[in-house]
Amino acid sequence: MRTGSFIVKYRWWIIFLSFMAAGFFGLQIFRAEINPDLESYIYEGMPSRINTGIIEEIFGGDEMILIIIESEDVLNRETLSRVRSINKELKKLKGIDETLSLFDAKRIKGEDGAMIVDPAVSSIPETQENREDLRKEISGNKLVYKVLVSEDFTRTAIIATLEPEALDEDIIFAIQEVIEQVPGEENTFIGGLPYIIAKVAIEMAREI
């Protein structure tokens, strides 16, 4: 029997079976699992991966979320108040080990032969004069200036270190909720490897 004759004779069966096969394989999409962690695709015995693991065990991993807050002057009362509130709420989130912001960073100075360690920002300046004094202190603090605060004082960062068992996607949603619950005029941006991994997973699922 020629192929053409076979197709014509069993055309309805062929159409039916084609739809069944397409439906079966299409339903498997809902069972698909997405793994956006690029490190997991690297051979575990690779020397560079082994060395990276050793370094992370000693000095800590790269599981950090960066929250950037942008305004005309991050030392104004409203922006500092928002930074303090967001930082305080982040510390309460399950999955965050610790945070580092202007209110966590230290100011180290020597006085009368002694070393004095104070918070980089111990209080929010009430006057313009207090603000300029704080700006001068931060400009001379290498632990803060150009690290947690940009050179022009238009951006400041909050760095959140995640616990090893924290789920990237869950913690990202929780951080976004915190930012929304502490509104302000400032622009906010989120970055860091866990954020990128979570966004890749979300976008991949959406594309599928």
pTM of the predicted model over 0.75: no
pLDDT of residue 18 exceeding 60, the answer is yes
Whole-angstrom distance, CA of residue 59 vs CA of residue 70: 30
**What was the pLDDT predicted at 163?**
84
Nearest Cα to 187, choosing from 91, 84, 72, 81? 72
**What was the pLDDT predicted at 30?**
74
- Residues contacting 116, CB < 8 A, separation 6+: 108, 109, 110
What mean pLDDT value characterizes the chain? 83
pLDDT of residue 52 exceeding 70, the answer is no
Whole-angstrom distance, CA of residue 162 vs CA of residue 63: 6
Name which residue leads in pLDDT, 61 or 68. 68
Using alpha carbons, list the distances in angstroms from residue 184 to 10, 79, 134, 187, 208: 68, 8, 22, 8, 35
pLDDT of residue 4 exceeding 70, the answer is no
DSSP letters spanning 93-143? STTEEEEESTTTSEEEEEETTEEEEEES-SS---SHHHHHHHHHHHHT-TT
**What was the pLDDT predicted at 130?**
93
Residues 105-140 have pLDDT tens digits of 888 776 666 777 778 888 899 899 999 999 999 999
Q: What domains can be seen in the chain, in order of their start residue?
A: 61-207 (3.30.70.1320)
Task: Provide long-range contacts, Cβ within 8 A and 24+ apart, for 75-81.
Answer: 75/125, 75/131, 75/134, 75/135, 75/138, 75/153, 76/131, 77/124, 77/125, 77/126, 78/184, 78/185, 79/156, 79/184, 79/186, 80/121, 80/124, 80/125, 81/124
Query: What's the token pair of residue 171?
Result: 């913690």
- Mean per-residue pLDDT, 20-49: 75
Count the Cβ atoms, other than its own, within 10 Å of residue 197.
19
Residues 137-186 have pLDDT tens digits of 999 988 899 989 999 999 999 999 888 777 777 888 899 999 999 999 99
Q: What is the CA radius of gyration of the chain?
A: 27
pLDDT of residue 62 exceeding 70, the answer is no
pLDDT of residue 57 exceeding 70, the answer is no
